[in-house]
Amino acid sequence: MAKKRLGELLKDEGYINDNHIKFALKEQKATGELLGEVLVRLGIVTDREIAQSLSKQFDLPFIDIKEIKPDDNAMKLINLNFCRQHKVLAFEKKDNTLNIAIANPDDERLFDLISRITTLKPNFYIASQSEIQEAIETNYYLLEHPIEQDIERVINVIRSNPNADINMEDFTRSIFILAINMRSSDIHITPTDKSLHIHFRIDGVLQLVYSMPQTLANRFISNIKVRSGMDISEQRKPQDGRISFEFLGKTYDMRVSTVRTVYGENVVIRILGASSSLYSMPNLGFDDKDLAKLEIAFSKPYGIILISGPTGSGKTTTLYAALRRINALEKNIMTVEDPIEYKYPMARQTQVNELAGYDFSSAIVSFMRQDPDVILIGEIRDAKTAQMAIRASMTGHLVLSTIHANDCIGIIPRLKDLGADSFLIASSVVALVSQRLVRKLCPFCKQEVETSREDMEFLTIDKPISIYKKHGCPKCNFTGYIGRTVVSQILLINDTIRNLIAQDEPLYKIEKEAYESGMRTLLDDAKRKVLQGITDIDEVLRVFGR
């Protein structure tokens, strides 16, 4: 059967339509890029979506290459130049088979070339081209520069000689590179009475990476304070700073915070990556039922949609996935964020600048003079922003934002705490979303087990069934998990709920009507993902408690 052209393939998968193609062709004339390159640059489609479409067409499995740890011995079988040229990355050797991520399944020479080079049978997986290219550069760099060994060497030298001359610039750089490679969102540097602990937050969980001599603390922390523009002589007061860190051509924005503790200064570094790629709603983990609700919500011409959840629960990622469902060719989309986490050329993105007096509320005022259709506000955190957001949503604009609340119903009293009137809330809000992130079981090592009596009680099922639990292998760094998926609660505001909010009825009445109209709890969605083999009970209990 003849293979489809990329445009036809993406159109059949529902990622683009004729208007997108016409727009991209006009852009192509101006830039000279390939059609696929234009579509990806503008955020109309992503590399991942192209890869998933090719995966279906060529009947090859899709793999998220950035979330697995390639085996060094597998990588050594193919040289760097070949990987760069053909956009391939070997990640696992199994007996006489070599598992390889590829970006271009159209290349018919690959099978024979790799068979000849490695004397193994290639087993192909399709991955995003940009992610393969990034994984090639990162993993081959680490193959040539064993930074974990360098870090261990420094720690051992300090153990034997606390006053040894150490290059702290190189040591700090190695810690940063390791954190980036392990997909860490935060680095925690914590002094104790006898040692210094370094934790990385990976997939929402703090993991102890190094415990080193306490004598290294002052030099290491001072180096970070100098890099971030802090006063190294000030150790009593909390300080905030920023580091711009470059690695393999990408710049990472690091937000640094210090707090004095009993045993010295505690440092936390938030890593804001340079390679944040846009997602689609299905890729985030929303099921068909929730996707249908979200399609209804984001197709509204005006009103306000709020997403709640704790810090790091993927709220902004969901907002941008939603933005991509809005017809950006016919809508003027304005955003104000702090900071801008995703680059989306189809929107007019702006960043908060407190020194210039440009905050969330003042941005909304400015946007109203820019003829907007859709306004994205990074976060509603004060009364003025809440007031301006509601006002904008009631004057013919669709407003999207995030807010801190425990669940959908909790958003209502949170808005009231910020001074919003019940009637205005009822008149403006069209949908509420609450979400968490749970880790996904590693597909390479998860184990099938039969439910125990306690499992059945937790999952509210009557008969024993097979579910999965974590195990651990080199590809998931022996954690048992790779990546995360969203657990959601969605409430579409119907007329009954709108009236209950406007009349300032007790929350339990609003909640009762919400459940009767089809809303489910966050925990129910998490249990459903256990039954589907996506996550396990241990992870659900970690996120939601017992």
What pLDDT was estimated at residue 5? 83
Comparing C-alpha atoms, which of 398, 404, 474, 466 is closest to residue 435?
A: 404
Rounded average pLDDT over 419-428: 97
What does the alpha-carbon distance between residue 531 and residue 523 come to, in Å, rounded to a whole number? 13
Question: How crowded is the C-beta side of 326, counted as CA atoms within 13 Å?
Answer: 29
pLDDT in tens, 482-493: 999 999 999 999
Q: Residue 2 pLDDT > 60, yes or no?
A: no
Give 449's pLDDT tier (boundaries 50, 70, 90). very high
CB 245 within 8 A of CB 258: no
Comparing C-alpha atoms, which of 365, 370, 374, 334 is closest to residue 351?
A: 334
Rounded average pLDDT over 337-352: 93
Phi and psi (nearest 5°) for 349?
A: -95, 135
Residue type, 338: D
What does the alpha-carbon distance between residue 364 and residue 299 come to, in Å, rounded to a whole number? 21
Partnered with residue 489 across adjacent β-strands are: 434
Q: Residue 273 pLDDT > 80, yes or no?
A: no
What does the alpha-carbon distance between residue 92 and residue 124 come to, in Å, rounded to a whole number? 11
pLDDT in tens, 279-335: 888 889 999 999 999 999 999 999 999 999 999 999 999 999 999 989 999 999 999
SS3 (DSSP) at 527: helix
What does the alpha-carbon distance between residue 106 and residue 119 come to, in Å, rounded to a whole number? 22
Bridge-based pairing state of the strands 429-441 and 481-492: antiparallel
Q: Residue 495 pLDDT > 70, yes or no?
A: yes
CB 399 within 8 A of CB 375: yes
Q: Residue 415 pLDDT > 90, yes or no?
A: yes
Place of tokens 């954190």: 179
Angle (CA) 426-432-433 rounded to 5° is 175
Q: Which two tokens stand for residue 382?
A: 């004060």
What does the alpha-carbon distance between residue 181 and residue 190 come to, in Å, rounded to a whole number? 21
Rounded average pLDDT over 212-216: 92
Angle (CA) 127-132-137 rounded to 5° is 170
SS3 (DSSP) at 20: helix
Domains of the chain: 46-144 (3.30.300.160), 158-272 (3.30.450.90), 281-437+487-520 (3.40.50.300)
How many CB atoms within 10 Å of residue 449? 13
What does the alpha-carbon distance between residue 151 and residue 141 come to, in Å, rounded to a whole number? 16
User: What percentage of the chain exceeds 70 in pLDDT?
Assistant: 99
Give 7's pLDDT tier (boundaries 50, 70, 90). confident
Query: Dmax over Cα atoms in the chain, in whole Å?
Result: 75
Compute the mean pLDDT over every residue in the chain, rounded to the nearest whole number: 95
Comparing C-alpha atoms, which of 239, 217, 237 is closest to residue 229?
A: 239
pLDDT in tens, 221-262: 999 999 999 999 999 999 999 999 999 999 999 999 999 999
What pLDDT was estimated at residue 264? 93
What pLDDT was estimated at residue 63? 95
pLDDT in tens, 167-201: 999 999 999 999 999 999 999 999 999 999 999 99
Q: Which two tokens stand for residue 98?
A: 């070599």
Phi and psi (nearest 5°) for 92?
A: -160, 135
How far lies 330's CA from each of 23, 334, 430, in Å?
Answer: 11, 13, 21
Burial of residue 348, with CB atoms counted within 10 A of its CB: 0-12 exposed, 13-18 middle, 19 or more buried:
middle
**Residue 81 CA to chain centroid, in angstroms?**
30
Q: Which two tokens stand for residue 299?
A: 């197709």
79: Cβ contacts below 8 Å, ≥ 6 apart: none
SS3 (DSSP) at 429: strand
Q: Residue 443 pLDDT > 50, yes or no?
A: yes
SS3 (DSSP) at 270: strand
How far lies 116's CA from each of 88, 385, 421, 454, in Å?
Answer: 15, 63, 71, 53
Q: Which two tokens stand for residue 377?
A: 């506000």
What pLDDT was estimated at residue 74? 97
Rounded average pLDDT over 58-73: 93
User: What percentage of the chain exceeds 90 in pLDDT?
Assistant: 90
- Secondary structure of the chain: what % helix, strand, coil (to 5)? 40, 25, 35
The crossing angle, in degrees rounded to 10, of helices 217-227 and 168-181 is 80
CB 103 within 8 A of CB 51: yes
What pLDDT was estimated at residue 1? 45
What does the alpha-carbon distance between residue 546 and residue 542 come to, in Å, rounded to a whole number? 8
* Core vs surface per residue 498-531: b (16+ CB within 10 A) or e: bebbeeeeeeeebbebbeeeebbebbebbbebbe
Q: What is the 3-state secondary structure (H, E, C) of 192-233?
A: CCCEEEEEEEECCEEEEEEEEEHHHHHHHHHHHHHHCCCCCC
Q: Residue 78 pLDDT > 90, yes or no?
A: yes
How many CB atoms within 10 Å of residue 246? 9
CB 145 within 8 A of CB 153: no
How many CB atoms within 10 Å of residue 289? 12
Rounded to 10 degrees, the C-alpha dihedral 276/280/282/286 comes to 70
Total count of residues recorded for the chain: 546
* Range name among 3-12, 172-181, 194-203, 356-365 with the lowest pLDDT average: 3-12
Sign of CA dihedral 223, 228, 234, 240: negative
